[in-house]
């Protein structure tokens, strides 16, 4: 995919009915980015909350890539990628607030490290605490020792969780290599798309970034987390908040699709049924526990 002009960075934000978050995110982009050589695209999935009117009134320079359907997150990102002209493509969540140094630091790193296919920023919650957004490849053990599992919450210093979530690495001030990371602020170089392709639209939302990163690595490119580049990521979808049915469905469907693509592949593998039953049980339990949680806005 060749660029159509001299744009260096295309910022791509997927949105659906997140008007207020999007307004804050875009404000941070235009306050902290030099408009020269930067374009901003919003790939909207049929928002009905006034998002389109907001963009027209407050952010007329934004390129709108709108769908009249409630499509998946990967489909929105792919739509933005196809319309983008930049050498580097920054995937940015609608609830992400960038800092002044974020984009320049990511560009500098990719310019200096041609073997790197993608770079991700360090991420913080609004209260200043670090998000565990970098990962090693998941194993079956991480079903019990994942980021939001009960065992990890009860025993946060256990070695399995800390290794998977790269807790020690996240305290570093130097760039470090990751297997995969959240795409809430991920900059990719355009040429990797020739090797990797676009995001898999079979994922609804969750685990699309894990699959994308795995394909980047499998194609011979490296992925780095850059502590000197940072965002504030609101990420209201936390364990103690009530989740939507869609969020629970998207997470468990994403896990199963990722497992099938990268671990068993064959539709007749005996582990497929085991994992399906386990994920179905986990989803049912989460739906039950969801009844007792406080209401929170979930992206």
Q: Are residues 29 and 172 in the same domain?
A: yes
Domain harbouring 220, CATH code: 3.90.550.10
Gap between the Cα atoms of 272 and 256, Å rounded: 8
Domain assignment present for residue 21? The answer is yes
Among residues of the chain, what percentage have pLDDT more than 70?
93
Same domain (yes/no): 115, 224: yes
Which residue, 187, 203, 233, sits at the end of a domain? 233
Q: Is the pLDDT of residue 152 over 50?
A: yes
Assigned domain for 18 exists = yes
SS3 54: helix
Q: Which pair of tokens denotes residue 181? A: 């990371």
Residue 69 shares a structural domain with residue 104: yes
Q: How confident is the prediction for the chain on average, in pLDDT?
A: 90
Q: In terms of domains, do 50 and 105 share one?
A: yes
Q: Let me know whether 126 and 255 are in one domain.
A: no
Look at residue 200 and tell me whether its pLDDT is greater than 80.
Answer: yes
Q: At 150, list the tokens.
A: 């009960």
Q: Which domain holds residue 29?
A: 9-132+167-233
How does residue 299 score in pLDDT terms, banded at 50, 70 and 90?
A: very low
Confidence label for 36 from pLDDT (cuts 50, 70 and 90): low
Tell me the pLDDT band of 2, cut-offs 50, 70 and 90. Answer: very low
Nearest-angstrom CA–CA distance, 67 and 273: 36
Residues 249, 110 share a domain? no
Mean pLDDT across the stretch 259-287? Answer: 90
Q: Which of 101, 100, 99, 79 is nearest to 91 (CA)?
A: 79
Q: Is residue 162 part of a domain?
A: no
| Interval 278-282 mean pLDDT | 89
Q: Is residue 299 part of a domain?
A: no
- 180 and 120 in a single domain? The answer is yes
The C-alpha atoms of residue 228 and residue 40 are separated, in whole angstroms, by 22
Helix then strand then coil, in percent of the chain rounded to 5, is 40, 20, 40
What CA dihedral angle connects 82, 73, 204 and 49, to 10 degrees? -130
Which of 205, 233, 261 is the last residue in one of the domains? 233
Same domain, 38 and 105: yes
- Which has more confidence, 231 or 265? 231
Lowest mean pLDDT among 64-78, 164-178, 241-255: 241-255
Asked, for residue 177, whether it belongs to a domain, the answer is yes
Same domain, 72 and 201: yes
171 shares its domain with 286: no
Assess whether 271 and 177 both reside in one domain: no
As a whole number of angstroms, the distance between CA 1 and CA 145 comes to 39
For residues 21 and 102, membership in a common domain is answered with yes
pLDDT, mean of residues 214-219: 97
């Amino acid at each position: 995919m060749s660029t159509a002009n001299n744009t260096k960075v295309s910022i791509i934000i997927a949105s659906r009915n997140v008007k207020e978050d999007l307004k804050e995110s875009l404000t941070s982009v235009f306050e902290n980015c030099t408009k020269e050589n930067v374009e901003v695209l919003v790939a909207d999935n049929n928002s009905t909350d006034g998002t389109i009117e907001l963009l027209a009134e407050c952010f007329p320079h934004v390129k709108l890539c709108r769908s009249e359907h409630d499509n998946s997150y990967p489909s929105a990102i792919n739509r933005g990628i196809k319309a983008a002209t930049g050498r580097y493509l920054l995937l940015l969540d609608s609830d992400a607030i960038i800092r002044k140094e974020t984009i320049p630091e990511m560009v500098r790193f990719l310019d200096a490290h041609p073997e790197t296919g993608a770079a991700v920023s360090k991420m913080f919650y609004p209260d200043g605490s670090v998000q565990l957004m970098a990962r090693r490849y998941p194993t079956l053990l991480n079903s019990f020792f994942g980021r939001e599992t009960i065992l990890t919450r009860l025993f946060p210093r256990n070695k399995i969780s800390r290794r998977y979530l790269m807790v020690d690495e996240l305290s570093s001030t130097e760039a470090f290599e990751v297997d995969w990371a959240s795409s809430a602020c991920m900059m990719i170089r355009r040429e990797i798309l020739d090797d990797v392709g676009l995001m898999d639209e079979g994922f609804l939302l969750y685990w699309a970034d894990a699959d994308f990163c795995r394909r980047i690595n499998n194609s011979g490119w490296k992925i780095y987390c850059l502590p000197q580049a940072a965002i504030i990521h609101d990420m209201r979808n936390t364990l103690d908040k009530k989740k939507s049915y869609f969020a629970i469905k998207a997470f468990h469907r994403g896990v199963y699709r990722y497992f099938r693509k990268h671990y068993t592949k064959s539709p007749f593998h005996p582990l497929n049924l085991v994992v399906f039953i386990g994920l179905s049980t986990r989803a049912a339990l989460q739906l039950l526990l969801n009844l007792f949680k406080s209401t929170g806005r979930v992206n």
